[in-house]
């Protein structure tokens, strides 16, 4: 049986680095079940040459499309095929037992832009960009679009988008992105960052921040950008679309068409550094369940049948069972097979983060 070794991308965050191997094993399991036909087996952590790897076996060698899928793993730094050499002899003639040979496998990520789109922004409360990519991956893999994620431009919504970490990862994949954020300062900060980044990279684009009016009332603001990785794509009309609405996420249906998103991905308020405004005006709730219960009907309406919704949250302020019940009450089917049960990990002393993914059934 062919065996492979995945070198995990080093994380600057020490706590996340400690969880990265377990998270990689869980994410690898989702890829296996969703798009690799369950062919990945014997997933383990092994130390080779003093360096930790995530190793796994497959029934037959990975093909080009298999490698393309695995290239999307949030923590993939390098991939090797393991080939046993048996026994080698040193220069002095003494027999020396040799470990496996690591034969490099070229990764083919979807990335359309430089990775500083994800790494430049630094601010308190920013979600780790590796985890953001993981959450996006496992959500899309649960949807009916999983088999098309290498071939088709998907449309993704983050209804609690903050300063755009998820949106930037969606753009990196070459997909269309949309977000909703109630905090006007966050929207202005993201608008300023992205405009500056696009100009510095000399990428063809158009960007504008305008009020949203309906019945002579201002409902919010819209930051809209069209951009492309190169001028030829932009001129041909093959530009990416990014829309961020500065408004209450409970009014999501006021700003986007029903059934217009392949997936919805969001990191819910943790109830520690920040809360969610889901009650009376100005009232700050510490429970993400209050926000989910209020906002989920609108979010689900925007999701295409067969689409998926993925949410991460702090289990110290909401039990997994209660969060799953909220998704079920909104008409979604929670993914509770073993592949989706391995993502709980510590963020800091007050935050134990977990992931829930659910799909929207077809009528």
| Residues 189-215 pLDDT 10s | 999 999 999 999 999 999 999 999 888
Per-residue model confidence (pLDDT) at position 19: 86
Same domain, 74 and 125: no
Q: What is the mean pLDDT of residues 111-128?
A: 90
Which of these three, 105, 137, 152, is where a domain ends? Answer: 105
Q: Directed axis angle between helix 14-35 and helix 129-142, to 10°?
A: 20
Same domain, 161 and 233: yes
Q: What is the mean pLDDT of residues 158-172?
A: 97
Structural domain includes residue 95: no
Structural domain includes residue 327: yes
pTM of the model: 0.91
Q: What is the mean pLDDT of residues 83-93?
A: 55
Q: Are 27 and 36 in contact (CB under 8 A)?
A: no
Query: What DSSP letter does each residue of 222-249 carry, written as one string?
Result: EEEEEE-SSHHHHHTT--EEEEEEES-G
Per-residue model confidence (pLDDT) at position 333: 98
Cβ atoms < 10 Å from Cβ of 274: 14
Same domain, 222 and 333: yes
Reported as type and span, the H/E element at residue 87 is: strand 87-89
Cβ atoms < 10 Å from Cβ of 107: 16
Percentage of the chain lying above the pLDDT 70 cut: 90
Which of these three, 59, 81, 105, is where a domain ends? Answer: 105
Same domain, 214 and 311: yes
Same domain, 162 and 227: yes
Same domain, 122 and 82: no
CA distances to 15, 182, 219 from 216, in Å: 50, 21, 9
Structural domain includes residue 160: yes
Same domain, 229 and 335: yes
Per-residue model confidence (pLDDT) at position 352: 93
Going by pLDDT thresholds of 50, 70 and 90, the confidence category of residue 282 is very low
7 SS3 class: strand
What's the total number of domains in the chain?
2
Same domain, 10 and 65: yes
9 or 311: which leads in pLDDT: 311
Going by pLDDT thresholds of 50, 70 and 90, the confidence category of residue 126 is confident
Structural domain includes residue 111: no
Structural domain includes residue 110: no
Structural domain includes residue 124: yes
Same domain, 130 and 16: no
Q: What is the mean pLDDT of residues 347-359?
A: 93
Q: Which domain holds residue 72?
A: 3-90+101-105
Same domain, 234 and 130: yes
Same domain, 72 and 153: no
Structural domain includes residue 214: yes
Q: What is the CATH number of the domain that holds 204?
A: 3.40.50.150
Tokens matching residue 146? 């999983």
Per-residue model confidence (pLDDT) at position 287: 73
Structural domain includes residue 16: yes
Same domain, 237 and 322: yes
Which of these three, 73, 105, 137, is where a domain ends? Answer: 105
Whether the per-residue pLDDT at 276 is higher than 50: the answer is no
Using CB atoms within 10 Å of the CB of residue 97, give its burial: 0 to 12 exposed, 13 to 18 middle, 19+ buried: exposed
């Amino acid at each position: 049986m062919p065996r492979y070794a995945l070198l995990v991308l080093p994380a600057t965050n020490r706590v996340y680095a400690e969880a990265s191997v377990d998270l990689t094993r869980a994410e690898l399991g989702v890829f296996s079940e969703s798009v690799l036909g369950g062919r990945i087996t014997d997933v383990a952590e092994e130390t080779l040459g003093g360096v930790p790897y995530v190793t796994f076996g497959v029934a037959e060698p990975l093909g080009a499309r298999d490698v393309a899928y695995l290239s999307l793993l949030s923590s993939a730094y390098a991939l090797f095929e393991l080939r046993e050499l048996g026994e080698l002899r040193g220069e002095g003639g003494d027999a020396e037992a040799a470990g496996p040979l690591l034969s490099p496998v070229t990764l083919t990520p979807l990335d359309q832009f430089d990775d500083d789109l994800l790494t430049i922004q630094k601010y308190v409360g920013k979600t780790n960009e590796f985890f953001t990519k993981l959450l996006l991956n496992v959500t899309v893999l649960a949807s009916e679009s999983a088999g098309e994620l290498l071939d088709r431009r998907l449309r993704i919504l983050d209804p609690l988008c903050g300063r755009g970490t998820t949106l930037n990862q969606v753009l990196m994949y070459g997909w269309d992105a949309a977000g909703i954020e109630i905090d006007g300062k966050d929207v202005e900060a993201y608008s300023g960052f992205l405009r500056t980044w696009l100009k510095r990279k000399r990428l063809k684009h158009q960007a504008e921040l305008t009020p949203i009016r309906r019945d002579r009332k201002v409902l919010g603001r819209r930051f809209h950008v069209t951009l492309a990785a190169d001028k030829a794509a932009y001129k041909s009309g093959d530009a990416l679309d990014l829309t961020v609405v500065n408004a209450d996420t409970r009014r999501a249906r006021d700003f986007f068409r029903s059934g217009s998103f392949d997936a919805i991905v969001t990191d819910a308020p943790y109830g520690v550094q920040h809360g969610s405004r889901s009650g009376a005006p100005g009232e700050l709730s510490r429970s993400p369940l209050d926000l989910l219960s209020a906002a989920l009907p609108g979010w689900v309406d925007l999701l295409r049948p067969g689409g998926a919704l993925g949410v991460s949250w702090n289990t110290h302020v909401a039990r997994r069972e209660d969060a799953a019940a909220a998704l079920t009450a909104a008409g979604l089917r929670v993914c509770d097979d073993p592949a989706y049960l391995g993502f709980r990990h510590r963020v800091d002393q007050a935050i134990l983060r977990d992931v829930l993914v659910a799909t929207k059934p077809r009528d």
